[in-house]
Amino acid sequence: GAGVSQTPSNKVTEKGKYVELRCDPISGHTALYWYRQSLGQGPEFLIYFQGTGAADDSGLPNDRFFAVRPEGSVSTLKIQRTERGDSAVYLCASSQSSQVGPQHFGDGTRLSIL
């Protein structure tokens, strides 16, 4: 299928380490979003890209979190000096950049910080 692909599906690492999470959006979708979801909660917005630029990064919790989308397609979410509280499912979505159009989600990366 040509859905949103996220890798890895699971990531376990130690506190203090650096992690990168990858998202391959649907081909041709110019808008890309990152969310994270803690157990029992709805997804929480992190950052939104329109093309290569971050149009809204108001959801990034602190400066340990950073995301890039250098060619306007694949995006990488980077977390430095990980903490146990960063453990969550990180979800990526893409859309055709309509403000009322649907967002298409991947199945997420489950990040566990030991």
Partner 1 sequence: DAKTTQPNSMESNEEEPVHLPCNHSTISGTDYIHWYRQLPSQGPEYVIHGLTSNVNNRMASLAIAEDRKSSTLILHRATLRDAAVYYCILRDQGGSEKLVFGKGTKLTVNP
CB nearer to partner 1: pick between 55 and 114:
55
Residues 46/92, Cβ–Cβ less than 8 Å: no
C-beta closer to partner 1: residue 82 or 103: 103
Strand, coil or helix: what is 108?
coil
* Shortest distance (Å) from residue 58 CB to partner 1: 8
Name the residues that contact partner 1, by CB under 8 A.
4, 31, 33, 35, 40-45, 48, 50, 55-56, 59, 91, 93, 95, 99-100, 102-108
What is the C-alpha to C-alpha distance for residues 22 and 69, in angstroms, rounded to an integer? Answer: 10
Q: Is 75 buried (19+), middle (13-18) or exposed (0-12) by CB count in 10 A?
A: buried
Min. distance of Cβ 81 from partner 1 in angstroms? 26
Give the shortest CB-76-to-partner 1 separation in angstroms. 18
75 contacts 88 by C-beta, under 8 angstroms = no
CB of 64 to partner 1, least distance (A): 20
